[in-house]
Amino acid sequence: MHPRLSALAALRLTDPEQKVAATRATAALVATDSIATNPLRTVGDDIGVPGRPERPLRVAATAVQKRSPFTPEGRAALIHSICHIEFNAVNLALDAVWRYDGMPEAYYRDWLRVADEEAQHFTLLHAHLQDMGWRYGDFPGHDGLWSMCEKTKDDVLARMALVPRTLEARGLDATPLIQAKLKRVNTPDALRAVEILDIILRDEVGHVAIGNRWYRWLCERAGRDPETTYPELVARYEAPRLKPPFNLEARGRAGFSAEELRALSAGGKD
What is the pLDDT, as a whole number, of residue 267? Answer: 67
What stretches in the chain show pLDDT beneath 70? 267-270
**φ, ψ at 142 (rounded to 5°):** -95, 170
The residue type of 102 is G
What is the pLDDT, as a whole number, of residue 75? Answer: 97
Q: What is the pLDDT of residues 195-224, one digit of tens each?
A: 999 999 999 999 999 999 999 999 999 999
- HEC sequence for 184-229: HHCCHHHHHHHHHHHHHHHHHHHHHHHHHHHHHHHHHHHCCCHHHH
First and final CA of the chain: distance in angstroms? 40
Q: Is 198 left (phi over 0), alpha (psi -120 to 50) or beta?
A: alpha
For the chain, the 3-state helix, strand and coil shares in percent, each to the nearest 5, are 65, 0, 30
Measure the CA angle with vertex 95, ends 97 and 236; round to 5°: 110
Q: What is the pLDDT of residues 75-106, one digit of tens each?
A: 999 999 999 999 999 999 999 999 999 999 99
> pTM for the full model?
0.95
What is the pLDDT, as a whole number, of residue 178? Answer: 97
CB contact set of 191 (below 8 Å; sequence gap of 6+) = 182, 183
CB 10 within 8 A of CB 23: yes
- Which alpha helices (DSSP H) does 30-104 contain, by range? 72-99
Instruction: Give the number of residues written for the chain.
Output: 270
**Mapping DSSP to helix (H, G, I), strand (E, B) and coil, where does residue 270 land?**
coil
CB contact set of 150 (below 8 Å; sequence gap of 6+) = none
What is the pLDDT, as a whole number, of residue 30? Answer: 87
The residue type of 68 is S
What is the pLDDT, as a whole number, of residue 66? Answer: 83
What is the pLDDT, as a whole number, of residue 203? Answer: 98
